[in-house]
Amino acid sequence: MKSMCKVNVIQIWWNDKLLENTFYYDHFYRYYKNFLIENFNYILFDKIKILNFLDKYNYNYILNLQSFKNADDRLKSDLLRILILSIIGGYYLDLDIIINNYSKFISFIKDCYKYDNIIPLSKHIYFLKIKETTSFSSFIRNLYLQLIRLQRDNEIIRKMWLFKFFNELTFMNDEIIFRILKHESVTG
């Protein structure tokens, strides 16, 4: 089934190991990679692509920030997915996501397209949609760039509630998302 328009769907692999040599590749990625490539503008941002992206958009300075260097890989990955989506727009899926039904996933993405920005109500960013160049995307990008006193996703999510009132952010019930996707929670 072909999608009407090719929206961006990204995944992040911020690790020195080759993805092909990991649990993620064998159990998740290889099952739906072709589907994502055929139906979306799919980009797997590995470390090399991320570094090239940061250089292209003049964000390579964040790699030298002490706060970035001191952050754990999970927080770095959170920052990178937010930064990339805030520039190009689109959807993010964790690598430990399983797509339950491909045609329903396409419909789900099409239905979600009417919203500017979406995060799961559970406050865990395994699925995310950010529309590029909005006040929300700038705000959230700047919050992550500061990397001040962050504890996982919850600190950022609390600050996001402000945008719910400006109709720029939709908190989607995880039950709705889980009808289409299954999150294996390998990453925590």
**Model confidence pLDDT, tens digit, residues 19-57:** 776 767 766 777 788 888 899 999 999 889 999 999 999
Residue spans per domain, the chain: 8-183
- How far is residue 8 from each of residues 15, 95, 111, 137, measured CA to CA in Å? 22, 15, 15, 15
CATH topology of domain 8-183: Spore Coat Polysaccharide Biosynthesis Protein SpsA; Chain A (3.90.550)
Is pTM, for the whole model, over 0.85?
no
**Model confidence pLDDT, tens digit, residues 98-122:** 888 888 888 888 877 777 778 787 7
176 pLDDT exceeds 80?
Answer: yes
Query: Which residues, in sequence order, are bridge partners of residue 170?
Result: 118
